[in-house]
Amino acid sequence: MALSTGRANQRDCGTNWALTRTELERYYAVLHLGTPTDQSEYNHSNAVRVETPVEAHRLDERILSIWAGHGRHSVVPAMEDFPF
């Protein structure tokens, strides 16, 4: 995902995350897989996860807001099992 502060060629992974219209248009669709909100559903044994459940939820909210302007943005909420 491209992150932009609105200034050409500058990327900011701090507090000012935003996507320009050009960046949004690069993607036909965006599928967002939600982060578990319940502490018991969060996989604490995954060594790749470095954030706490609270930090993960904050990041999830930020990412949701970044992609909110995309016309084909879909969210799959977190769930214990996928019903297939």
pLDDT tens for each residue of 24-55: 889 999 999 888 877 666 777 778 878 888 88
| Per-residue pLDDT at 62 | 92
| pLDDT over 80 at 3, yes or no | no
| Per-residue pLDDT at 31 | 93
Q: Which two tokens stand for residue 42?
A: 């969060």
Report how far residue 2's alpha carbon sits from residue 65's, in angstroms, rounded to the nearest whole number. 14
- Residue pair 32/67 in contact (Cβ under 8 Å)? The answer is yes
pTM here is: 0.65
% of the chain residues with pLDDT over 90 = 21
* Residue 78 burial (10 A CB sphere; 0-12, 13-18, 19+): middle
CA 53, chain centre distance (Å): 14
Cβ partners under 8 Å of residue 62, min gap 6: 17
| Per-residue pLDDT at 10 | 38
